[in-house]
Amino acid sequence: MLGFLRKIKQSQSYSRKMRLEVISLTWPAFIELVMSTLFSMVDTIMVGRLSSAAISAVGLTTSPFMVLLAVFAAVNVGTTTIVAWNIGAGNTEKANTVARQSVILNFIMGIAVSVAGAALAHQIVVFMGAEADTIKDATAYFQIVSAGLVFQAVNMGVTAALRGAGETTIPMIYNVGSNLFNVLGNYLLIFGKFGFPKLGVEGAAISTTISRFIACAVSLYIVFFSKRSTISIKVKGSYRIDFDIAREVFSIGLPSALEQFVIQGGLMMFARTVSSLGTMTFAAHQIGLSICGLTFSPSMAFGVAGTTLVGQSLGANDEERAQRYADIIHHMAIAVACFMGVMFILFSYPLACLYTEELEVAAMASVVLKIMALAQPGQSTQLSLAGVLRGAGDTMFPLYSSAFGIWIFRVVVAYIFVHFFHWGLIGAWAALVLDQYTRAAIVYFRYASGKWKYIKSRNEEVREIEVCS
């Protein structure tokens, strides 16, 4: 009996230690994501002081930008997973090599995406349904921000490698710092303070691009010159693409890139559906999305912890530890999401009023926030467990869930609710809730099967067979 009680006590102590480790990785990622969201909210509030048309102009560019950034998920998800595996296996040299390749690949792709975005800006905002009062500002904003996407791409590559190594505090510092600079730049350039020109929406775009350059420069300094990180890349070395590493990275990350294309493409169509309801309605929709970023942040932070801790556990060939980390992460994510949902129900209208003085717009935004509160358990499940699956290299099921949930509900069902049932903005957001629970169900059933724990070992067996043959 004493031995049984001792085992229970040891198990509880081990679980407590694991929860603390989850928290130690989650809180910096959480702070980074929340602060980035808050700064984005401040940006939108500043632009909103210009007019509802200005909010809509910036909002129209959000989904297309995310589509352009989706291409980098192929590198970044693969980088985080493979770095985590190698750190778990004690192979720091291989982790550093993968980090170098991530920077190289993201830089090359970043140049291409920046050029494409700047060249196609007008056509993209027209496709998004920009009206006469938004098209000029939306085009200028898209062109300026597109020019700086290469900086964001390189920063994302470095951040992915650091997270794979379990270092979430360093990216938090430089990304929060750059966003703080962006808020200051917005204040100076949107409103023309302290002798700076009053540039309106264009000022917001210029400030965003400069802040991304700063984050990129600091992240490169960290991995090339600083001794503060486990990931350390030597300045002298080959900058050629290592096709073996690139193949390994893309084999894991490509489904995540496809997932992001599916998600962002669907969200772009979703935005088109809502934009057809008019500038004021779309402004309310954009306010709702901006505030809802607060609910994404905790679940995404738990997903980051899931990718790192599960990846490192499987890198050490410890499937049982990976399972325990995954369970802890999921339960903690659900608890936080429920708390966020209650806060949205209680404070939706005051939050919406921060963005606009137009009471009709604030009232519409308040309603969609209450609807979004209902989606919190589903959203937290699919985001946190998708991170767990990615840490295991099981990136196909998050893709399946996003393809089915987004395109069936946010594209098709939202269109039916808005244009056939005439439910307006409420119909669009009801479809969003159905999407979240559908994706959560697909990801959860894959997680419950336990098959994700053996993806890495099967991949290694395949590579060994290929080498021997």
Q: Quickly state the pLDDT bin for 38 (edges 50, 70, 90).
A: low
SS3 133: coil
Residue 175 clears pLDDT 50, i.e. is over it: yes
pLDDT higher than threshold 90 for residue 50: no
What is the average per-residue pLDDT within 118-130? 82
> What mean pLDDT do residues 20-37 have?
80
CB atoms within 10 A of CB 345: 13
Task: State yes or no: pLDDT of 426 exceeds 70.
Answer: yes
Q: What is the mean pLDDT of residues 199-228?
A: 90
In 3D space, the residue among 252, 144, 256 whose CA is nearest the CA of residue 200 turns out to be: 144
What would the mean pLDDT of 392-401 be, rounded to a whole number? 91
If you count DSSP H runs as helices and E runs as strands, how many of each does the chain have, helices first? 18, 0
Q: What is the mean pLDDT of the chain?
A: 86
Task: Please check the confidence at residue 459 and state whether its pLDDT lies above 80.
Answer: no
Confidence of residue 5 (pLDDT cuts 50, 70, 90): very low
Residue 92 gets which letter from DSSP?
H
Give the type of residue at 313. Answer: S
**Residue range 227-245: average pLDDT?**
88
What's the pLDDT at 333? 93
Mean pLDDT of 383-388: 94
What Rg value do the Cα atoms of the chain yield, rounded? 22
12-16, 166-170, 416-420: least confidently modelled range? 12-16
Per-residue model confidence as pLDDT tens digits over 261-309: 888 778 878 888 888 888 788 888 888 887 777 778 888 889 999 999 9
Q: Residue 388, exposed/middle/buried by CB under 10 A (0-12, 13-18, 19+)?
A: buried
- The distance of Cα 23 from the centroid of its chain, to the nearest Å, equals 19
pLDDT value, residue 4: 45
Q: What is the DSSP string of 23-71?
A: HHHHHHHHHHHHHHHHHHHHHHHHHHTT-HHHHHHHHHHHHHHHHHHHT
Give the global pTM.
Answer: 0.80
Mean pLDDT of 97-103: 94
Report, as an integer, the average pLDDT of 363-385.
91
